[in-house]
Amino acid sequence: CKTIIGFGSPNKQGKEDCHGAPLGDDEIALVREKLNWPYPAFEIPSEIASQWNAREAGQSAEANWNDKFVAYKEAHPQLAVELERRLNNRLPEDFAEQAQAYIEKLQAEGPVVASRKASQMALNAYSPLLPEMVGGSADLAGSNLTISQTSKGIEAKDASGNYLYYGVREFGMCAIMNGMALHGGFMPYGGTFLIFMEYARNALRMAALMKQQAIYVFTHDSIGLGEDGPTHQPIEQLANMRLTPNMSVWRPCDAVETAVAWKAAIERRDGPTALSLSRQNLAHQERDNQQLDNVARGGYILVDSAEKPELIFIATGSEVELAVNAAKELSAKGKQVRVVSMPSTDTFEAQDAAYRESVLPSDVLARVAVEAAIADYWYKYVGLDGRIVGMNSFGESAPAGELFEHFGFTVDNVVAVAEEIL
């Protein structure tokens, strides 16, 4: 190492003593003597300050840039308006309308696809409207499905593209995304397996702390990825991100919720959004117009009982279908059961108290959460007397179907767990 910690301190340089504690008045006096620094605290000599003062140069550079931009606006008025829109973090005026039309189209068509594929479909629908989007993947583009119809790779000899092949560099990818967001004028998104958010964790936290828009496409989001085994199967990662301040997390249950999640991520300008997406196909869920509108509220009643519910299932992602089928079986036995799909807990918690109460009535205490991720997170919703069908261990290496059965993600087990508290 070419640097010395505490350089100039006769008694403490090169030692841990000067890392986390003040030097002390006596040692500071010795440092001043050794470095020949006679100036008092917080005084910068004028000859040094003048060398570092870039105000005049900066003001001149800014004035020159402003003059050039005025000329640019006169020569290219439409391009100038577009540049200002991007630099000011404004979406195209028709984005919300076109995105909503796409969501309604999906609801009508009802595609049965993996949510990672639904994510690519959303990119194909939204990216032509948003030329500021810059995508990428950490060497998993073919699995994350982050390449859209508008994607063009950025190469050493051609920087005109909008897609970066980051290689196996999850932290580097997310840190670069932070840099693009801080620069302004870009909307970065990047993909990898959910488990590999661990490698990028610091960059994710910094995006949340700095309130920067970055969109993470995290696929293969549960034991449902199968034979790659516990090293690749995320368990605690969703809870980790959900507990990070200012991080928005979506785990959609079908193509419709995925499109809504992408729309929310695009419209959110003051922080990052993580999309948790499945490898396996997910069933399409039927919704009326009100339910479709309520998806954007993060949690909503997907299936309701004819009378006041005796039991509420709360589920996300690939387990929503499981909760719906368990509710059907219990309803056939005469039970009043509600199913709440909760793709985004932070978005749901941002809703007004009346709406939250309408979805999860406080006097209905029989609740079961179903999610193929760490179980403990869901006690805040089901209470200590509720039940959770979730993960309490690492996964195993086996086909997805066998894993779901082994860990209790079956209709029979969900029904049995629910009947314990009915």
Confidence of residue 18 (pLDDT cuts 50, 70, 90): confident
Closest by CA position to 141, among listed 122, 160, 163: 163
244 and 378 co-located in one domain? no
pLDDT of 59 above 90 = yes
User: Which range, of 37-41, 186-190, 328-332, averages the lowest pLDDT?
Assistant: 37-41
The reported pLDDT for the residue numbered 324 is 98
257 and 334 co-located in one domain? no
Write out the catalytic residue numbers: 170
- The CATH number that applies at residue 355 is 3.40.50.920
- Distance separating alpha carbons of residues 216 and 161, to the nearest angstrom: 20
288 falls within a domain: no
357 falls within a domain: yes
345 falls within a domain: yes
pLDDT of 1 above 80 = no
Tens of pLDDT, residues 330-387: 999 999 999 999 999 999 999 999 999 999 999 999 999 999 999 999 999 999 999 9
pLDDT over 70, % of the chain: 100
77 and 173 co-located in one domain? no
33 falls within a domain: no
Confidence of residue 417 (pLDDT cuts 50, 70, 90): very high
In terms of residue numbers, what domain contains 228? 94-276
368 falls within a domain: yes
Number of domains within the chain: 3
Last residue in a domain, options 276, 311, 326: 276
207 falls within a domain: yes
Tens of pLDDT, residues 210-225: 999 999 999 999 999 9
225 and 136 co-located in one domain? yes
The reported pLDDT for the residue numbered 285 is 98
357 and 314 co-located in one domain? yes
337 and 224 co-located in one domain? no
Tens of pLDDT, residues 251-308: 999 999 999 999 999 999 999 999 999 999 999 999 999 999 999 999 999 999 999 9
- Distance separating alpha carbons of residues 101 and 177, to the nearest angstrom: 29
- The CATH number that applies at residue 122 is 3.40.50.970
The reported pLDDT for the residue numbered 2 is 84
219 and 110 co-located in one domain? yes
115 and 169 co-located in one domain? yes
The reported pLDDT for the residue numbered 389 is 98
The reported pLDDT for the residue numbered 17 is 85
67 and 112 co-located in one domain? no
Tens of pLDDT, residues 81-108: 999 999 999 999 999 999 999 999 999 9
102 and 204 co-located in one domain? yes
Last residue in a domain, options 42, 64, 88: 88
41 falls within a domain: no
Query: Interhelix angle for 170-183 vs 201-210, to 10°?
Result: 20
Last residue in a domain, options 244, 276, 308: 276
73 and 150 co-located in one domain? no
254 and 193 co-located in one domain? yes
The reported pLDDT for the residue numbered 21 is 87
72 falls within a domain: yes
